[in-house]
Amino acid sequence: MDDSGNRILVLAPLGRDAEMLASALRGTGFRPEICGDAAAVAAALEGGGGALLLAEEALTPAAVALLVDAVDRQPAWSDLPIVVLTSGGRATEPGTAVLDNLRRLGNVTFLERPVRVMTLLSTVAAALRARRRQYEVRNHLHERMRIEERLVAEGRAKDEFLAMLGHELRNPLAAIAAATHLLERTALPDDGSVPARRVIARQIRHLTRLVDDLLDVSRVTSGKIDLARKPLDAGVAVRNCVAALHASGALTRHRIAVETEPVWVNADDVRLDQIVNNLLVNAVKYTPADGEIRVRVRRDGDAAVIRVEDTGHGMDPELVSRVFDLFVQGRRGIERAQGGLGIGLTLVRRLVELHGGTVSAESEGAGRGSRFTIRLPAVSAPATAPTAPGRATPRAARRVLIVEDNDDARDMMAYMLKDAGHEVIEAADGPRGLDAALRERPDVAIVDVGLPVMDGYELARQVRATENGTRMVLIALTGYGLPEDRRRAHDAGFDCHLIKPVDFEALEAALALRA
C-alpha cells in the first residue's frame, strides 16, 4: 500500500475538535490530515486515503452530496472506511432522513461522543487494516491486468510469428509443388522418375499439412475459426476423404475397411474432411504395415457417429486420458519415418466441439489398437440432394501477370501457366508489378501480398483506382491464411485469396473469373 493509503482525513468543524482528534491519532503513529470542509475532503480523496473521520455536525445535506460523489468516484475495488462521530446527549436517535444520508456514504461506522480514546484508536486501526486489504486486492488486480495485457501481447506476437512462419515455409513449398506439377504434366508414361516424383508429391502434402495444422491449432485455440456450415452426408464426406488418401498413396501399406450409411450433419465440409483426415493419418502413423484400419459411419438416435479403429500400437490408460492434449504423442519406433507435431488430435477435438459434437478415444492397452469415436448432431436430409459438379469445361487462355519476389516460386508458376496455354508477364516487386499492370493491361494479376518496397495490398488498391484496373482479375497468392488476411485482401480489391502452395485446379478456376 502506498503512503496515501495511511492518511486519515479528519473533518470536524466545531472549535478545536479537529486538532484534538488529530493530536490523539498522531500520538499513536497514525497520519491524520485535517480538512476544512467537505470539498477539501473530496479533493484530498483524489490522491487516495486510508479512512475518513467525520463529525456528524459537518454532514449537512450539501456536504453529504459532495462526499457521496467523491466516494462514488473511487475505483471498483475501493470500500473506503468512514468513521462518524455522532452527537452525544441526544434525547432521540437521528431521524430517518439523516441516517439515509449517512448510509449513502457506504462503509460507515458510528461512534457516539464522548468517545474513549482507546475506542477511537482501535476503531481507526481496524478501518486501516481493512483498507490495507483493499489495497492488496488493488495490487493483485493491477498485477492480473498486467499479466493479461502481457499474455495478449504475447499471443498477438505468437500469431504474427506463426503467420510469418507459415508464409516463409509456404514460399519454398509453392515452388516445389509447382515444379512437381509441371513434371507430372510433361513426363512420359515410361519415365523412370515416376517413383521419385510421387515421393516428392507425398512429402509436399505432408509438409503442407504440418504447416496447416500448426497454424490451425493456434486459430482454433484462440477462437478465430469461422465455420461455413451446410447440410452434408457424413457417409459421403468420409468416403471422399478415404478416396483422397488412397489416391495420394497414404493408405497403400494398410488394409482399409469402410462401412457407411447416409446420415446428415450440419457441418463445414473442409473442417469435417480435416477431422477425418487427421484421424486416418493418426491411425496410419501408429499402425504397422499390413495392419487394418476400419472406418464406420452410422446414425445412433439423434447423433451421427464416425468411428476410426485400427489394429496398431494401442495406448496405455495414461495416454488415453490426455491423447487430445496439445503436443502429446504416443511412442513410436525408430522405423516410423512419418513424424508429426502432436497437434492433429487437438485440432480434431476442438473442431468437433465447434460443431457441437464430442470425440472420445479408447484402447485396450499397448499392442491392442485404438478406437476414436466422433458424435455430431444429426439433421434431416435436405429435400433436394446437392447435385454433383459437372465436367470441367476447357479454360480459355489468359494474359497473366505474376508479381512474386521469390524467384523460384515465380519461375515455377510461370512455367506451369505457360504449359497450360496462358501468356505470362513477370515482375519481382511491387513497383515493377504496378508498372506492368498499367502498361501491359493483363486479364489477370496474381500478386504475392508480401512484396518488398510496395506490398500487394497497396498494389491492388492502386490498380483498382485506374480505369482498366476495375476489369482486371486480381488474385492474392500468399502464405498468410488467417481470416483477417482474407478480409484485408478483399478490402484491398482482390477478387480471391489463394494460399501457397496453391492447388492448380483452384488457380485455374480463379483465372477463369470474368473470362
* pLDDT per residue as tens digits for the range 105-134: 788 998 988 889 999 999 999 999 999 999
**Same structural domain, 268 and 214:** no
Could you tell me the pLDDT band of residue 91, with boundaries at 50, 70 and 90? very low
Q: Considering only 78-82, 102-106, 262-266, which range has the smallest mean pLDDT?
A: 102-106
Domain match, 196 and 98 both? no
Is the confidence at residue 8, as pLDDT, over 90?
A: yes
In a domain, 366, yes or no: yes
Residues 6 or more apart whose Cβ sits within 8 Å of residue 330 = 286, 313, 315, 319, 323
Decide if pLDDT at 209 tops 90.
no
The pLDDT value recorded for residue 334 is: 39
User: At 515, is the secondary structure helix, strand, or coil?
Assistant: coil
Measured CA angle at 396 (ends 395, 398), to 5 deg:
120
pLDDT of residue 337: 44
pLDDT reported for residue 391: 44
- Select the more confidently predicted residue: 290 or 87: 290
Span 84-111, average pLDDT: 71
**78, 98, 115 — which closes off a domain?**
115
> Does 130 fall in a domain?
no
Report d(CA 323, CA 42) in Å as an integer: 59
Residue 336 pLDDT grade (very low, low, confident, very high; cuts 50, 70, 90): very low
Residue 484 lies in a domain: yes
Q: Is the pLDDT of residue 303 over 60?
A: yes
Q: Angle CA(297)–CA(302)–CA(305) in degrees, nearest 5?
A: 20
| Average pLDDT rounded to a whole number, residues 199-209 | 73
- Model pLDDT for residues 389-424, shown as the tens digit of each residue: 444 445 678 999 999 998 888 888 898 899 889 999
**AA identity, residue 164:** M
Cα separation, 349 vs 347, in Å, equals 5
Q: In this structure, is residue 150 part of a structural domain?
A: no
The answer to whether 438 and 470 are in contact (CB under 8 A) is no
Clarify whether residues 369 and 409 are in a common domain. Answer: no
Kindly tell me if the per-residue pLDDT of 95 is higher than 60: no
Evaluate if pTM is beyond 0.75.
no
452 and 349 in one domain? no
Residue ranges making up the domain that contains 424: 163-225+395-515
Predicted local distance difference test score (pLDDT) of residue 359? 95
Amino acid at 345: L
| Mean pLDDT, rounded, for 43-65 | 89
Q: How confident is the model at residue 220 (pLDDT cuts 50, 70, 90)?
A: low
Average pLDDT over residues 6-26: 91
What's the pLDDT at 353?
A: 92
pLDDT of residue 173: 80
Last residue of a domain, one of 348, 379, 410: 379
Pair (276, 300) in one structural domain = yes
Report the CATH number that the domain containing residue 512 is assigned in CATH. Answer: 3.40.50.2300
Is the pLDDT at 46 greater than 50? The verdict is yes
SS3 159: helix
Mean predicted lDDT score pLDDT of the chain: 84
Is residue 153 in some structural domain?
no
In percent, the amount of the chain with pLDDT more than 90 equals 42
What DSSP state is assigned to residue 364?
S
The number of domains in the chain is 3
CA-based max dimension of the chain: 116
**Residue 467 confidence (pLDDT):** 85
Q: Are residues 419 and 469 in the same domain?
A: yes
**CATH number of the CATH domain containing 244:** 3.30.565.10
The pLDDT assigned to 221 comes to 63
Question: Does residue 259 surpass a pLDDT of 70?
Answer: yes
pLDDT digits (tens, 9 = 90+) for 489-500: 999 999 999 888
pLDDT above 70 coverage of the chain, percent: 83
Tell me: do 277 and 360 sit in the same domain.
Answer: yes
The per-residue pLDDT for 217 is 65
pLDDT at 236: 93
Whether residue 241 has pLDDT greater than 70: yes
Top pLDDT among 201 and 447 is at: 447
> Of 184 and 99, which is predicted with more confidence?
184
Which residue type does 480 have?
Answer: Y
Q: What is the pLDDT of residue 390?
A: 46
Sign of the torsion formed by the C-alpha atoms of 216, 221, 222 and 225: positive
Give the CA angle between residues 483, 211, 459 to the nearest 5°.
50
pLDDT (average), residues 194-211:
72
